[in-house]
């Protein structure tokens, strides 16, 4: 199990050190973390934070694999490239042009936060993955104009506040279902989109560890090696688990959709415990 779409100090919108991110991943007992730092505008270059790629361990011997992708901006919205040797050129280019380059580099192209932060515009483009859950989008929507009230709740019940942030991402799931109905084998992912950059008056609203524990990608077992874990993550066989609702697993109701995918829903469909892909494709 692991988390996808994580930022730290190389990104322009985070000043968190790698050591803090790594300690949180180990404490959350993750198997893998996927770094997706924002690329600086300009010519293609090394992947930001590539120096952190590989297996890291703590004093107890607990290990976590760090995979490194990159998030780039296109004229159609943001893309995350996985499995590429360097940052693809993106400045001034369309989403399709950048996706074509990602594919030429042997990579996998994911549309993150499709309806937030500018969203995504070209739904006919040949992207491979879609973020159907994005934690940063949820928290910004939650905090909004009621920020003072939520800050008070954060002081009294931090876990409860985070739980209230995560409702079923209906619009994103509807889009994924439509893509599957078209015969497109788009892979659904949950993006932590963690930056450790939301705070107020000394309060940290988005520390890494609670986010890493709350929603995770659960994939078929694989050796703790970059190629093997990346293959599982991009295979379309991983489940999205809202661990924040684990204590309510006995209440979950299974709902199957025309594409064959399945959800374990809570609260009459307002929340979801788990999102399962359509019947497994061979690895």
Tens digits of per-residue pLDDT, 78-92?
A: 999 999 999 998 888
Q: Among 22, 25, 49, 23, which Cα is nearest to 35's?
A: 49
Tens digits of per-residue pLDDT, 214-224?
A: 999 999 999 99
197 contacts 10 by C-beta, under 8 angstroms: no
259 inside domain: no
Strands 187-194 and 129-134: parallel
For every residue of 162-231, DSSP letters joined together read HHHH----HHHHHHHHHHHHTT--PEEEEEEEE-S--EETTEES--HHHHHHHEEEE-----SSHHHHHH
Residue recorded with tokens 């910004």: 140
283 inside domain: no
Give the whole-angstrom CA distance, residue 96 versus residue 92: 12
32 inside domain: yes
Tens digits of per-residue pLDDT, 128-184?
A: 999 999 987 776 665 555 555 655 565 566 666 666 668 899 999 999 999 999 999
Please compute Rg for the chain using Cα positions: 18
Examine the pLDDT at 246 and tell me if it is beyond 80: yes
Total domains in the fold of the chain: 1
Provide the pLDDT for residue 207: 85
Give me the phi and psi of 94, to 5 degrees please.
-75, 165
**Which residues make Cβ contacts (< 8 Å) with residue 172, sequence separation at least 6?**
114, 115, 130, 131, 132, 133, 134
**pTM score above 0.85:** yes
Tokens standing for residue 173:
């799931």
Provide the pLDDT for residue 44: 83
Count of alpha carbons within 13 Å of 82, Cβ hemisphere only?
Answer: 28
Tens digits of per-residue pLDDT, 96-110?
A: 999 999 999 999 999
**Which residues make Cβ contacts (< 8 Å) with residue 192, sequence separation at least 6?**
3, 4, 5, 6, 135, 211, 212, 215
Instruction: Give the pLDDT mean for 48-66.
Output: 94
Provide the pLDDT for residue 25: 96
Q: Which has more confidence, 9 or 5?
A: 5
71 inside domain: yes
Provide the pLDDT for residue 14: 75
260 inside domain: no
Strands 108-111 and 253-256: unpaired
The enclosing domain of 82 has a CATH number of: 3.20.20.140
Q: Among 91, 96, 86, 26, which Cα is nearest to 58's?
A: 26
34 contacts 2 by C-beta, under 8 angstroms: yes
What percent of the chain clears pLDDT 70, i.e. is strictly above it? 86
Can you give the residue range of the structural domain that contains 237?
2-250
12 inside domain: yes
Give me the phi and psi of 187, to 5 degrees please.
-90, 130
Give the whole-angstrom CA distance, residue 194 versus residue 76: 22
221 inside domain: yes
Examine the pLDDT at 200 and tell me if it is beyond 80: no
């Amino acid at each position: 199990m692991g988390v996808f779409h994580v930022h730290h100090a190389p990104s322009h919108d985070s000043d968190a050190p790698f050591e803090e991110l790594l300690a949180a991943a180990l404490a959350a007992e993750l198997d893998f973390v996927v770094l997706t730092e924002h690329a600086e505008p300009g010519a293609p270059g090394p992947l930001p934070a590539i120096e952190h790629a590989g297996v890291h361990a703590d004093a107890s011997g607990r290990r976590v694999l760090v995979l490194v992708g990159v998030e780039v901006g296109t004229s159609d919205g943001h893309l995350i490239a996985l499995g590429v040797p360097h940052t693809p050129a993106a400045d001034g280019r369309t989403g399709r042009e950048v996706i074509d380059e990602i594919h030429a580099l042997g990579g996998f192209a994911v549309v993150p936060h499709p309806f937030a932060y500018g969203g995504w515009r070209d739904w006919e483009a040949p992207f491979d993955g879609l973020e159907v859950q994005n934690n940063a989008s949820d928290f910004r929507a939650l905090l909004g104009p009621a920020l003072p009230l939520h800050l008070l709740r954060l002081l009294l019940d931090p876990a409860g506040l985070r739980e209230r942030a995560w409702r079923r991402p209906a619009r994103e799931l509807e889009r994924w279902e439509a893509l599957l109905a078209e015969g497109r084998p788009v892979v659904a992912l949950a993006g932590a989109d963690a930056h450790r950059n939301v705070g107020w008056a000394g309060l940290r609203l988005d520390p890494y560890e609670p986010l890493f524990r709350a929603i995770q990608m659960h994939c078929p077992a694989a050796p703790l090696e970059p190629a093997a874990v990346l293959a599982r993550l991009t295979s379309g066989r991983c489940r999205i688990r809202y661990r924040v609702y684990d204590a309510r697993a006995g209440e979950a109701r299974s709902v199957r959709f025309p594409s064959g995918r399945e959800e374990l829903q809570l609260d009459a469909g307002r929340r979801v415990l788990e999102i399962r892909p359509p019947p497994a494709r061979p690895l």
